Each structure stands twice: as C-alpha cells, then as structure tokens.
Amino acid sequence: MNKLNWDDLKFFLTLYETNTVSVAANRLNVNYATVSRRIDRLENALKLKLFDRTQDGFISTIEGRLLYDKSITMRDKINSLEEELSPESKFNQNTKISMVPFLAEHFVIENLHNLHQRFPELRFEIDTSSRNVNISKQEADIALRMELPEKGESI
C-alpha cells in the first residue's frame, strides 16, 4: 500500500459528509477537479473503491464507511492537537513569573493591571521568593532578578 496522505483524507471526509464534489470543493476552497483528483489518489493508494459515483452524488461504499469511522477519530484528534498547540491556547495557561519581592512591589504588580486590560485571557502565577528557579525544568516561565546569575547557575 502507498503512503496514506492526511490531506487526501480531509478531502475524503468532506466529500463523505457533503455527497457532492461541488459542495466539498466550496467547503475546501478548491475547484471541482482537485476534489476528484484527491479522491482518485486516495482510492489508488488504498486500492479500494470508497464511493459509487451516481447522478445524485457520491455514495459511500462499505469500505468508505469503514474509512470514515476511522478517519473521523483522526480528524478529531488532529483538531484537538492543533487547538492545544495554537498560540492562542497558550494564553489560557498560567505564565509563571519568579521575582524578588522588591521588583514585584515596585515595578511588576502595578503594570500587570494594564497588561491584563489589553489581554484579559492571560493568567499569571507570581512567585516572590528569592530562590533561584530553573526555567528549563519549568519552575518558571520568566525569572526577574536584580543581578545576573553566575555561570552555570540556574536562573
């Protein structure tokens, strides 16, 4: 079997759900021929007939229904992964900031309000201890200090 192409599966899922190449093409923002070509390529790769072509549209075969059931799970997982990894989703996580109390009191805290006004989805977790934190171990995302760390010292 040739390698399965996820993009071809997206075309398959859309055609399966719409039953017509023209509607699938509109949803995918491509032309009619591209949808047909992708379905042909997928059928050739799998060596299966996925649709019966009729005057009423594309009707799924048994193999097409089986592929749909498996592919819909893949699509859901990929969509979930893309959402989790998107830059926007990172705003929904806490940003851990480590700083000495002096910096927090005199510089940072008063300015967080302005930042929160501009980006209400941002969340902060502030550690005002004087201990050194290790960013590579995710003890903090940002560490503000009054002096530079010594060579080899955790930030």
The ranges assigned to domains in the chain are 6-85, 90-144
CATH 1.10.10.10 for domain 6-85, yes or no, is yes
> Do the bridges between strand 142-144 and strand 94-99 make them parallel or antiparallel, or are there none, so unpaired?
parallel
Query: Residue 101's pLDDT is what?
Result: 85
Question: With contact defined as beta carbons under 8 Å apart, do 65 and 52 qualify?
Answer: no
For residues 9 and 100, which has the higher predicted lDDT (pLDDT)?
9
pLDDT digits (tens, 9 = 90+) for 68-77: 999 999 889 8
Predicted confidence at residue 8, as pLDDT, reads 93
pLDDT of residue 82: 83
Please give the model's pTM, rounded to 2 decimal places. 0.56
User: Whose structure tokens read 């080899």?
Assistant: 152
Question: Does residue 1 surpass a pLDDT of 60?
Answer: no
Fold of domain 90-144:
D-Maltodextrin-Binding Protein; domain 2 (3.40.190)
Give the pLDDT confidence of 17-47 residue by residue, as tens digits.
999 999 999 999 999 999 999 999 999 999 9
pLDDT of residue 153 exceeding 60, the answer is no
Give residue 148's pLDDT.
Answer: 72
- Same topology between domain 6-85 and domain 90-144: no
Q: How far apart are CA 2 and CA 124, in angstroms?
A: 48
148 vs 87: CA distance, rounded Å: 30
From the number of C-beta atoms within 10 Å of its C-beta (0-12, 13-18, 19+), residue 64 rates as buried
Determine what percent of the chain is predicted with pLDDT higher than 90.
41
